[in-house]
């Protein structure tokens, strides 16, 4: 008979304790799905996560900070799944892969995110501004994951454009009940195709008329 591994519990390894921050974030999302975001208190989240309220206070200043931590976690999941082989693919394909991976990372929490989204619309505008910075940072990281070169001084416009594109697809994803996410993928493909057209137009620059002909002026790459 094989010898049992040393230690108590018949050789079973003790599981490492879960990260308290992850437990708190997961608990907040579970409660948001069950009872709504506005009706979920910090005390509720601490109880659901099975951590002392003082521990929650030590790690998070409030519910908005918990949402920011969730955004960071999603960013890290997407970045961890980056495939260097995609570098040779067209920009559109790279962005498609990155944004679909982001939505896949959100999928286990779709009900919670739908509830949070509905209720944040009724929150003061200050909260939206508070979360705008982390969202813009997430979009910058998505561009990095897709290996899209920054537009120099116009990078804020580039990041904002990706954010608008992503949110338009995100709304489709929230209502997409299909297991294959066909509606979401079609919406993303269409949005990226439109973005390709806009970028191509920006790169061509303004059209100038010479005599009876019209020719495109070359715009410098940014």
Mean pLDDT of 72-98: 90
Per the model's pLDDT, the better-predicted residue between 4 and 50 turns out to be 50
Instruction: Note the pLDDT tens digit of each residue in 18-42.
Output: 789 999 999 999 999 999 998 999 9
High-pLDDT (> 90) share of the chain, %: 55
Domain boundaries, the chain: 73-205
Q: Is the pLDDT of residue 80 over 80?
A: yes
| Alpha-carbon separation of residue 163 from 11, 43, 55, 167 (angstroms) | 50, 33, 34, 6
Question: CA-CA distance, 65 to 25, in Å (whole number)?
Answer: 10
CATH class of 73-205: mainly alpha
- pLDDT tens figures, 162-185: 999 999 999 999 999 888 999 999
Position 151 scores a pLDDT of 83
Segment 188-216, tens digit of pLDDT: 999 999 887 766 655 554 554 444 444 44
Instruction: Give the integer Cα–Cα distance in Å for 115 and 104.
Output: 18
Strand partners, 208: 215
């Amino acid at each position: 008979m094989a010898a049992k591994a040393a230690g108590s519990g018949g050789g079973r390894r003790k599981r490492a304790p879960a990260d308290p921050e992850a437990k708190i974030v997961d608990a907040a999302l579970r409660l948001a799905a069950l009872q709504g975001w506005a009706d979920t208190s910090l005390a509720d989240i601490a109880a659901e996560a099975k951590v002392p309220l003082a521990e929650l206070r030590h790690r998070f200043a409030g519910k908005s900070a918990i949402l920011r931590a969730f955004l960071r976690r999603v960013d890290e999941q997407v970045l961890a799944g980056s495939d260097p082989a995609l570098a040779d693919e067209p920009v559109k394909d790279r962005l498609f892969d990155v944004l679909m991976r982001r939505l896949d990372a959100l999928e286990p929490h779709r009900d919670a995110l739908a509830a949070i989204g509905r209720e944040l619309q009724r929150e003061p505008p200050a909260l939206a501004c508070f979360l705008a910075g982390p969202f813009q940072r997430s979009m910058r990281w998505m561009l990095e994951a897709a290996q899209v070169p920054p537009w120099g001084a116009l990078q804020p416009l580039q990041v904002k454009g990706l954010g608008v594109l992503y949110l338009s697809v995100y709304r489709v994803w929230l209502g997409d009940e299909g297991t294959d996410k066909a509606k979401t993928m079609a919406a993303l493909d269409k949005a990226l195709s439109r973005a390709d057209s806009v970028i191509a137009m920006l790169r061509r620059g303004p059209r100038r008329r010479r005599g009876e002909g019209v020719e495109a002026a070359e715009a410098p790459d940014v």
